[in-house]
Structure 1
Amino acid sequence: MELLTINNVWMMICTALVFFMHLGFAFLEIGLTRQKNTINILFKNIFIITVGLLLYCLVGFNLMYPGFAEGSSGFFGFAGFGITAPEGGMTAAYADGGYTWWTDFLFQGMFAATAATIVSGAVAERIKIVPFMIFVIVYVGLIYPLAGSWKWGGGFLDMRETPFYDFAGSTLVHSVGGWAALVAVWLLGARIGKFKDGKPMAIPGHNIPLATAGVLILWLGWFGFNGGSVLSADPELTSLTLVTTCLAAAAGGVVSFLVSTAMYKNLDLTMYLNGILGGLVSITAGADQMSPTDAILIGSIGGAIIVFAVAFVDKIKLDDPVGAIAVHLICGIWGTLAVGIFGALAGVDQLISQLVGIASYAGICILSSFIILYALKKTVGIRVSEKEELEGLDGFEHGMDAYPDFRMNEH
């Protein structure tokens, strides 16, 4: 019982750290965008975490962990509405004594909301807030837990002879958000002024110190994101996971700034910050499987990918204000493939299984997000008017200003 208590306390700390990541996402998003849209972005982030948790309680948890019956296809299952702790859910008989059932629900619920937060940053500064809220309800309430059940719920990707492996969510969380972000950015179109004569123009964020604080908070939160995915306080595995997570983050940041400096001849802090996040996303699928050297290599490649991915996204005229597609989708894919290339599970069979998993999640996420967003686009519209975009969403959507004193002094 004492071991269960220790394990459970660690898992609750990790739950709190993952919750804290929502502050990091909020700071990063508002820091990298313009002052006139600050309230709008903060409102979306608060909506995601509050509604996300309620939806995960009402539907999501039992959709993600339905307890697939023997002989099931492992594609869809549902254990019923609401949550009620099973018999033995508060004892060491549950989850090998790693945590209680209530902690299990809350930890997984924090993950669920993260996927929609990724989309929030990518569509910042021009999406209508009500259609965005509808999208969040459907995507977090139904699509994320259904897709999550395919692996973490014991579904068909976990039933393979060589199971698909995603330790903490390079694909199940980050790519699930990243694919939706890609579709949303494509359907929305670029912000006014982003592309001039076909060339991308910089639209600077209004508070880079806040964005920097956001990245450091996210890095800290990843201690819970990856450390909690051990699903106990196992000393050796938890310590290794935190070491690989930190080394990948550091390597991603350093390589990203070196590559971007070589390409653009300036020391770009925002590229450095996104490199750290790229390293974190890259290690997330296999943090428990890698040696420190593996982690540095994986993070380094993730950091280099960020620089080229950001340039590529611009080249194909997609406007992603915070770099969410490069960080969460492209590095998420890389991190998932890295499981089959490095570490304890490396091999051809594992690499094939990783590719099958990536393709499966791409399929459901692209199709579902397109259907939801395209339906909204054709009915209520998803983009604000030109006047609203130019003057800022805070005044039009919320009737308030994030920095009223500053605005008054401006005039």
Structure 2
Amino acid sequence: MDLKLADLSLLADSFFIFLSAVLVIFMQAGFALLEAGSTRMKNAGHIAAKQLLSFSIVAIVFWAVGYGFTFGDGKWIGTTNFFLSTPAEAGSTPIEISFLFQFSFAAVSLAIAWGGFAERAKLSVYILFGALFTIFIYPVIGHWVWGSEGWLHELGKQDFAGSTVVHLTGGVAALIATLMLRPRKGKYNEDGTVNTIPGHNQVYSVLGALIIWLGWFGFNPGSTLTLKDGFFGYVALTTNLGATASVLGAMFMAYLRKQKLEVSIMVNGLLAGLVAITASCAFVEPWAAIIIGFIAGAITVISASFLERRGIDDPIYAFSVHGVAGIWGTISTGIFAAPRLVEKVGVGSAGLLYGGGFHQLGVQTLGVAITILYVALASFVLLSIIKSIVGFRVSEEHEQIGLDISEHGSYAYPEHPNHLEDAKIKETEVSKTPLSEEAIYAKA
């Protein structure tokens, strides 16, 4: 009888992890809508389609080597279980289901990184960097933090579902790409003033954010990896509180700065809260989740505006949403981690507010610093190599006519084939004679 109950429990947990993986995979649809809606019509098809491309690349590369590098034996990098060669132990989740869940996280991290490439990068860059990111960047951070022998894991770094591993990693890679690609044409005037380049469909952006929000209930609660004792419900609660508080925090900061309450501010506020609470969702009390989320929304508004004024053109604010909020979310556990929850999870120690001193805060800060340093350096090196081999940014002419037509040969919205720019956007002229509709199709 006990054996049958154990088998039933394992089956239930395995299905729970599988369902959580499906929810995280569904986040790819959210990223496609969010990013396409937040950028211009002439690039919408390209941006949505590269989600399919990158997802396919991650699936194969992570199966071959990424999973082994992340979860294999070793202090600095995994050296076992490539191609899922080591079967799961009896009584544990099948390795195929574990792989599906962890692969979905790697795919999200890469989707975040793509935000910094938007509207400027060649399609070939997505192929090459997607593979290299899944081999040399994501698995390294993942192993350090989540690997059973990872050095940050042994120090007690708290990152329950990936504020550092998934979001900060993707956000820093996005920032490096943004800096190397330089701003989009027409984003800045000669005197440095900023031109707004609005996304073509705010409804898509909101719908994408809602899909991502739904998928996050696989992301965080699924990271409990079990249905036992119902702790996944607690994680879902803190996740939701952090997200909703962040929307209010973003709105509050926009009000203080006398900004219009743009749809993008609310969307980015929501996502920032989800990012921030991802590290701490299993370690903090509900009231702390609200504080963490509120602060995340507020600082994301400040960060996005600051970077834009400094000449950094991050089209969907990937670094502000995933990088800055990821930093805050990771550090927050060093402040708010409750002893009873730390004991339950079994990682690290109590936070500063509970008399834990500065130890956990120091571990969290170290994890943030080393992640930024490694990912920035690795991204720069890999992108520099790619740039020297195949180039990096599309030509000015292709950027003007849009990546839909230049990279794929057709527009996502064929009824508007000559929709090049919003009438209010000033764009650098790339030829003395404007391209006619016939010329655009001829070049395609």
TM (norm. structure 2) is 0.87
Partner Cα distance (2:391, 2:258) in 1: 38
| Structure-2 residue corresponding to 1:71 | none
* Structure 1 contact 115–140 (Cα < 8 Å) conserved: no
Partner Cα distance (1:352, 1:325) in 2: 23
| Structure-2 residue corresponding to 1:176 | 169
Partner Cα distance (2:388, 2:306) in 1: 29
| Structure-2 residue corresponding to 1:150 | 144
| Structure-2 residue corresponding to 1:273 | 267
| Structure-1 residue corresponding to 2:85 | 84
1:13 aligns to 2:23 (yes or no): no
DSSP-derived class of the 1:178 partner: helix
Aligned residue pairs total 397
Q: Deviations over 1:367-388 (max 9, x none)?
A: 1100011222233321111111
Partner Cα distance (1:391, 1:409) in 2: 9
Partner Cα distance (1:288, 1:134) in 2: 36
1:22 aligns to 2:28 (yes or no): yes
Partner Cα distance (1:201, 1:342) in 2: 40
Q: Deviations over 1:303-350 (max 9, x none)?
A: 101110101111221101111110000000000000101122313110
| Structure-1 residue corresponding to 2:434 | none
| Structure-2 residue corresponding to 1:299 | 293
Question: Tell me, which stretches of 5 or more residues in structure 1 are unaligned?
Answer: 69-73
Partner Cα distance (1:262, 1:407) in 2: 41
Aligned counterpart for 1:325 among listed residues 315, 319, 329: 319
1:389 aligns to 2:399 (yes or no): yes
Letter in 1 for 2:48: L
Bigger Rg, structure 1 or 2: 2
Relative to structure 1, is the Cα distance of residues 394 and 408 closer, same or farther in structure 2, using a 3 angstrom cutoff?
closer
1:50 aligns to 2:53 (yes or no): no
* Structure 1 contact 85–102 (Cα < 8 Å) conserved: no
Q: Deviations over 1:159-218 (max 9, x none)?
A: 22xx11110000000001011111110010000111112122110000110110000000
Aligned counterpart for 2:374 among listed residues 344, 357, 364: 364
Partner Cα distance (1:186, 1:372) in 2: 14
Relative to structure 1, is the Cα distance of residues 80 and 11 closer, same or farther in structure 2, using a 3 angstrom cutoff?
closer
1:374 aligns to 2:369 (yes or no): no
Deviation at 1:38, TM superposition (A): 1.2
Deviation at 1:87, TM superposition (A): 5.4
Partner Cα distance (1:10, 1:244) in 2: 19
% same residue: 38
DSSP-derived class of the 2:82 partner: coil
DSSP-derived class of the 2:84 partner: coil
Deviation at 1:404, TM superposition (A): 1.1
| Structure-2 residue corresponding to 1:165 | 158
Deviation at 1:257, TM superposition (A): 1.5
* Structure 2 contact 88–95 (Cα < 8 Å) conserved: no
Partner Cα distance (1:59, 1:194) in 2: 40
Deviation at 1:101, TM superposition (A): 2.1
Partner Cα distance (2:71, 2:82) in 1: 12
- Two-structure CA RMSD over aligned residues (Å): 1.6
DSSP-derived class of the 2:271 partner: helix
Letter in 2 for 1:400: S
Partner Cα distance (2:72, 2:21) in 1: 22
- Comparing 328-337 with 262-271, which one deviates more in the overlay? 262-271
1:234 aligns to 2:235 (yes or no): no
TM (norm. structure 1) is 0.93
Partner Cα distance (1:173, 1:182) in 2: 15
Deviation at 1:12, TM superposition (A): 1.0
* Structure 2 contact 46–407 (Cα < 8 Å) conserved: yes
Partner Cα distance (1:409, 1:200) in 2: 22
Letter in 1 for 2:367: G
Partner Cα distance (1:265, 1:365) in 2: 33
Letter in 2 for 1:78: T
| Structure-2 residue corresponding to 1:131 | 125
DSSP-derived class of the 2:121 partner: coil
* Structure 1 contact 132–382 (Cα < 8 Å) conserved: no
* Structure 1 contact 17–225 (Cα < 8 Å) conserved: yes
| Structure-1 residue corresponding to 2:351 | 346
Partner Cα distance (1:119, 1:331) in 2: 15
Letter in 2 for 1:169: G
